[in-house]
């Protein structure tokens, strides 16, 4: 289910004006630990995003940009946030990072890459001793 776009109709002309959608993926945590490269991720998205049934054909409707550790996508056509999550997971799996990093929605229009919280047996034992 894609975020809703607003349609404004003129009284006489009947023209519709669609607002654009913006999505962002914050990759700060894995990039700071030098596990992941944002440039490679941006290139992967640029090659894999399908527009009108064709991969790698972003055209004027979809724009992809990068700001330090964040990838931003701006779309003038209907675009699913879920599709962006799917492609992010596919990139992580390709680079064997899927076991350590997960994709979390921290806002209505953004995702964040975080590490899994793994508790070991030693942590559980030390927690029981404190009680």
Residue 2: per-residue pLDDT: 56
Give residue for tokens 């209907």. Answer: 78
Q: What is the DSSP string of 50-119?
A: EETTEET--TTTEEEEEETTEEEEEESS---HHHHHHHHHHHHHHTT-TTTEEEEEEETTEEEEEE----
Q: Is the full-model pTM beyond 0.85?
A: no
pLDDT tens over the chain, length 131 residues:
555 555 555 555 556 656 789 999 999 999 999 999 999 999 999 999 999 888 888 888 899 999 989 999 999 999 999 999 999 999 999 999 999 999 999 999 999 999 988 776 666 666 666 55
């Amino acid at each position: 289910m894609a975020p809703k776009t607003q349609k404004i109709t003129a009284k006489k002309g009947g023209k519709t004006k669609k607002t654009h959608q913006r999505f962002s993926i914050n990759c700060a945590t894995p990039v700071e630990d030098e596990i992941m490269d944002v440039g490679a991720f941006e290139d992967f998205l640029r090659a894999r995003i399908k527009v009108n049934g064709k991969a790698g054909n972003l055209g004027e409707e979809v724009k992809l940009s990068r700001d330090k550790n964040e990838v931003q996508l701006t779309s003038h056509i209907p675009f699913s946030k879920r599709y962006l999550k799917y492609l992010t997971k596919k990139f992580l799996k390709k680079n064997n990072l899927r076991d350590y990093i997960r994709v979390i929605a921290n806002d209505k229009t953004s995702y964040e890459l975080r590490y899994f919280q793994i508790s070991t047996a030693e942590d559980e034992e030390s927690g029981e001793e404190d009680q």
